[in-house]
Amino acid sequence: MKIVSKHRLITGTALAILAGLTVYGCKDFLNSNATPQGTLDEQTLQSLVGVEGTLIAAYRQLDCTTSSGAWGCAASNWVWGSATSDDAYKGSEASDQPPIDQIEEFHWSAPDANQYLNDKWRAMYEGVVRANSTLRLMKSVQASKPAEIPAADAKGIAGEAIFLRAYYHFEAYRMWGNIPYYREDDTDFRKANETKALVVADLIKDLDSASVLLLADPRKGQVGRVTKWTAKAYKGRVQMYAGQYAAALTTLREVQASGKYELEESFDRVWTGFKQYENGTETIFAYQASANDGEPDGNNANFGERLNFPHSGSPFGCCGFHQPSQNLVNFYQVDSTTGLPLALTSATWNASNANLTAGSAEAVDPRLDWTVGRDGVPFKDWGLHDPGWIRAPAYGGVYSPKRNIHEKASGAGSTVGWVNTQLNSVNIHLFRYADLLLLIAEADVETGDLADARTIVNKIRARAAVRVQGCGSPTDTKADSIEQASYPQCKGDTRIAVPINDSSITWAKYRVGLYPPFADQATARTAVRFERRLELAMEGQRFFDLRRWAIADAVLNTYINGVAGGSEKTRRLQLASAETFVAKHYLFPIPDLQIQLSKVGSTSRLTQNTGW
């Protein structure tokens, strides 16, 4: 976990505070103590640096680790929030990571899918364990060494740990709804699951506690740490998930009024490997990926995203997962006159099955080319996206993910690790300010303030029009010559982002229009929901949005079977075997292994979600 970029992480064995807890901490978090060998015990960690190291271990669990299972624990939720939605396919090819096929096709009770569900459950409750272990260890140190931890640090550590506990429980809540909630003084680790309403109350209680303990700015000036505003922002998010719109407005507007966050100047600065834009004004909470920090396998980098790069033939070499859907690409089309989403006015916006390549006649939202790699369009500064970058087009489609890709000029790529070219230090946004603003707009719509909702949506759309994909002249000679052959104007033009009206752009017709006053609540609701998809596509939010809006069955069944002139079961034939999305799919099944482990005698404490 990169709290200060000069620190690197080590892995240890189990901390005896709770059996099975693997410790991840900074290289120097024990300072002058001997280099840890073997098991770290309570006595070794009875110090301020020991407590801080245990807290860093809790942060590190935000993304997959080598001990956390497969890709179901990725910080971005690309498996659960994206591949399950109309945004993306699993991608790659059928024989690679088949459990994700079962997840994408809604066969969630299948053994392979259950394995991934168990990985996610384990990872989230490992995070809870680490947060609670931090709190227990600190209490132990304070009891045995009252002067060891300064009061200000004690408050900050407690606030950060309580926030992280809430974060991991929230992730479990939006997966399974009815979950057990653990605090540091729990001794029974086979608790029954609570109702969704009780979980929400527990989350808000923890987030309120954290916001009281935390300061307005990151402790020690280390920007990866959470603050009181992170906690308040998450409280508003929880309230939105619970449908508490009026309460959420109060919370989220307080965050908005704090002045701590603002939209980045242009969209290219949101997902980037450039250090000067890392943890910028839009970042509320992010996994702090770290590359070339001394960890020999690159595992502190974007471990959970490492499959999500163009395949061999590309500069990245592997692995072709998380490919944007044809439906998503079609959704980025706009009316050539108004610049508003074509889906607002066209009954056939999704009819095209054609590869939307460079130079296509369709006008598009410029966020398309910050989100999707498509043939003939510059791919940041790596050269033109090419058909040879796709692993299996008939299976995964013809497009590549792009937001998580670093710019070559940023130097964010890893130099170590298996296929190091697919590892980087691009931070993974877990909550960003554009998301928060759109939650405010959504709550505005539900409480009747259509004017403010329109102001927010138009502010985000105006930002989308500031800068668009430029030539980004690649440093690779072959890639540069190929780009110049298609676009002679790109010779020597290293600008990755350019104004929307720049003369160099001949590969796309970019348009962004602003909404006129909304006629009614339904119109406003559609506009806000459309904007969430355009702005947050491929960020692991889409599926959870569809579920909390209670429209997942309608949207996903028509996505598979046919909507606005196109169906995914004819585009990607494997999707013809998808289950019909029904009521039970509004919550994932609790992993069977966890139900078995919860048994006291022959009775399971955990109750399976309805329908599974």
Q: Tell me the pLDDT tens digit for each residue of 384-413.
A: 999 999 999 999 999 999 999 999 999 999
Considering the domain architecture, whether residues 216 and 315 belong to the same structural domain is answered as no
Q: Is 586 exposed, middle or buried (0-12, 13-18, 19+ CB in 10 A)?
A: middle
Considering the domain architecture, whether residues 70 and 186 belong to the same structural domain is answered as yes
Q: Residue 468 — very low, low, confident or very high, per pLDDT cuts 50/70/90?
A: very high
pLDDT the model gives residue 70: 74
Is 478 a domain residue? yes
Is 189 a domain residue? yes
What tokens appear for 220 in the block? 């020690």
pLDDT the model gives residue 39: 55
Exposure b/e, 23-38, CB count within 10 A at least 16 = b: bbbbeebbeeeeebee
Considering the domain architecture, whether residues 237 and 330 belong to the same structural domain is answered as no
Q: Residue 65 — very low, low, confident or very high, per pLDDT cuts 50/70/90?
A: confident
pLDDT the model gives residue 33: 36
- Contact at 8 Å (CB) between 354 and 372? no
What tokens appear for 202 in the block? 């527990």
Considering the domain architecture, whether residues 422 and 519 belong to the same structural domain is answered as yes
User: For a pLDDT cut of 70, what percent of the chain falls above it?
Assistant: 92
Residues in the chain, overall count: 612
At residue 552, the 3 state secondary structure works out as helix
Considering the domain architecture, whether residues 201 and 339 belong to the same structural domain is answered as no
Is 55 a domain residue? yes
Q: 266: Cβ–Cβ under 8 A, 6 or more apart, which residues?
A: 463, 466, 467, 497
More confident residue, 13 or 290: 290
Q: Residue 31 — very low, low, confident or very high, per pLDDT cuts 50/70/90?
A: very low
- Contact at 8 Å (CB) between 97 and 321? yes
Q: Is 520 exposed, middle or buried (0-12, 13-18, 19+ CB in 10 A)?
A: exposed
**pLDDT per residue over 76-126, tens digit each?**
999 999 999 999 999 999 999 999 999 999 999 999 999 999 999 999 999
Considering the domain architecture, whether residues 235 and 341 belong to the same structural domain is answered as no
Considering the domain architecture, whether residues 182 and 310 belong to the same structural domain is answered as no
d(CA 511, CA 509): 7
pLDDT the model gives residue 43: 72
Q: Is the pTM of this model over 0.85?
A: yes
Is 144 a domain residue? yes
What tokens appear for 210 in the block? 């954290």
Is 184 a domain residue? yes
Task: Report the half-sphere exposure of 581 (CA within 13 A, side-chain side).
Answer: 27
- Provide the domain count of the chain: 2
Considering the domain architecture, whether residues 239 and 316 belong to the same structural domain is answered as no
| Nearest in space to 253 (alpha carbons), one of 429, 431, 443 | 443
Is 266 a domain residue? no
What tokens appear for 265 in the block? 């100047």
- DSSP 8-state class, residue 81: I
d(CA 425, CA 2): 10
Considering the domain architecture, whether residues 412 and 309 belong to the same structural domain is answered as yes
**pLDDT per residue over 214-273, tens digit each?**
999 999 999 999 999 999 999 999 999 999 999 999 999 999 999 999 999 999 999 999
pLDDT the model gives residue 13: 26
d(CA 517, CA 512): 16
User: For a pLDDT cut of 90, what percent of the chain falls above it?
Assistant: 90
Q: What is the domain range of residue 192? A: 9-244+591-595
Q: Is 593 exposed, middle or buried (0-12, 13-18, 19+ CB in 10 A)?
A: middle
Q: What is the CATH number of the domain that holds 136?
A: 1.25.40.390
| Nearest in space to 103 (alpha carbons), one of 319, 303, 317, 321 | 321
pLDDT the model gives residue 482: 97
d(CA 259, CA 230): 13
What tokens appear for 192 in the block? 């029954």
**pLDDT at residue 449 is higher than 50:** yes
- Name 323's bridge partners: 89
Q: Residue 198 — very low, low, confident or very high, per pLDDT cuts 50/70/90?
A: very high
Is 572 a domain residue? no
More confident residue, 331 or 68: 331
More confident residue, 277 or 37: 277
Considering the domain architecture, whether residues 124 and 219 belong to the same structural domain is answered as yes
**pLDDT at residue 23 is higher than 80:** no
**pLDDT per residue over 498-542, tens digit each?**
999 999 999 999 999 999 999 999 999 999 999 999 999 999 999
Q: 452: Cβ–Cβ under 8 A, 6 or more apart, which residues?
A: 440, 441, 444
Is 385 a domain residue? yes
Considering the domain architecture, whether residues 228 and 315 belong to the same structural domain is answered as no
Considering the domain architecture, whether residues 215 and 308 belong to the same structural domain is answered as no
